[in-house]
Amino acid sequence: MEQAVVRGKIGNRTAVFFCWWNLICVLALPTATIVSHDFNPLFSAPVLSIYTILFLKLWSYGDVNRWCRKARSEENDVFVTKTPESRKRESTPSRPSALMSSVTPSSGKQMNNGSGTGNTNVTASTTTLKVSHKNPQGEEVTWDQTLRKRKEEFTKSPPIGNRRSASPNPQGRQRCLSSDVERTRPARYSIASAEQYYNLLDAIDHELHSSIFSGEMNDLGARRYIAYPQNVTLSNLYYFIFAPTLCYELNFPRTLFIRKPFLFRRLFEVIFLSQLVLCFSQQWMIPTLKNSVTPIAESNFSQILERCLKLAIPNHLIWLIMFYCLFHSLFNLIAELMYFADRFFYSDWWNAETVPAFWSKWNIPVHRFARRHIYLPLIGCGLSRGQAGMVVFFISAVLHEFLISVPLKMPRMWAFLCMFGQMPYAYLVHRMFPHGGAWGNLAVWITLIIGQPLAMLFYFHDYYLTHYVN
């Protein structure tokens, strides 16, 4: 369909309609299959999760291509209004120019490396490529695109671990290797030629690996750099589908080789931790859940609380193990196999002092997707930040309930209420602990330790009564 749009066979509005129709079918068909057949929830839940991830990926893919088409049409409109003398300058794509504009073309320039004791020698050399572009009249315009290679040599400096940043800002210590080198999003080789897409990128300041300093990486990025519509290929789409990210980009950051020791460690962790979770579930959680059916049926709140606290310990251990197995072991395993360089899958959520800080740190791929494809577009439509955040939590709550109710075939709304209830709970925590601190962090951990086992008890009780008692 995207290729048909590029060739001009269908219009932009028609493409958007078919894109959303395809997204609805991606979720509707597996849902109907699971509901109409008697599958085990241990099978149907992972399958439905895979289709939900595919739904979000195709959503991002369609949005980015639509932004690129919009930027391309705007560039063509500007081209028509310009004089013949200025057309050649205006027809140059803005993103490749911005990509190299963040590197100062100086040779042998001395820079402060952030430690106050050493110097950085920055040398730049250039490579010229022939770039062609067709204007709205069908004429092909060719120009020379200069790509600069940057090399850095740190001299007269102590080891990195012994450096002290002169900046009082704690974030300055994290960027000691690139304190004076301008860290802009065009310097990532991970951009598209759409202005809206460029503005909606979620910049993460402490992604040190995303800065490209070596000439080897510059050469590799220049060879692999693509612009719309060269990205509309099956290979590009399938790479994004299997990549451990939900946000599509025309040019992802890449690694140069596969680290086999790192790869085998992550593979061993995935196998061992998955078996450990299975063992804890069978030997620790299932007996406790079975013993909680009678107290819930009799509305014995003291025993319900006792079962909930007894279930909190194994549930929390399993949740931590699954988090490490998924976000660290499995995602790094897939990224290493695919030469995917962006490994920022989670942040220090365990130190979160507010509820919104926790939800923005513990699942970075979903947070980036929600911010770029839901939150920021809603703000662009005129909604306030609070209203846009409420819509984001509502969509997240619907998806959580969808992923639990459909495999269990029990629409009980417990997951929806627990997820959507995070907003009033976050407001309450903010009113009680406006400065966060240790008490704010304690409030975050209470929801993790108590909230999840309570919802699990209710779902297991209803499922047990429906399938085994009745």
* Order of all β-strands in the sheet with 140-155: 109-112, 119-134, 140-155
Which of 211, 209, 202, 149 has its CA nearest to residue 180?
211
Amino acid of residue 300: N
Burial of 334 (0-12, 13-18, 19+ CB in 10 A): middle
- What φ, ψ does residue 262 adopt, rounded to 5°? -65, -40
Tokens 């048909």: give the residue: 4
Q: List, in order, residues 6 or more apart from 67 with CB less than 8 Å away.
A: 192, 194, 196, 197, 200
SS3 210: helix
HSE-CB at 247 with a 13 A cutoff on CA atoms is 26
Rounded to 5 degrees, φ, ψ at 70 are -65, -45
Place of tokens 């980015």: 64
Phi/psi at 410 (5° precision): -140, 95
The DSSP letter of residue 176 is: G
Q: Kindly give, in sequence order, each residue whose CB lies less than 8 Å from that of residue 55, ignoring residues fewer than 6 positions away.
A: 23, 26, 27
Distance CA 123, CA 151 (A): 5
Question: How far, in Å, are 40, 312, 317, 457 from residue 309 at the CA level?
Answer: 28, 5, 13, 11
Nearest to 41 by CA among 323, 463, 348: 463
DSSP state of 330: I
446 with 422: CB under 8 angstroms?
no
Q: Which residues contact 392 (CB under 8 A, 6 or more apart)?
A: 370, 374, 375, 378
Catalytic, out of 37, 400, 435, 467: 400
Q: Known catalytic residue: 400?
A: yes
Is-contact 189 253, C-beta < 8 A? Answer: yes
Residues labelled as active-site residues? 400
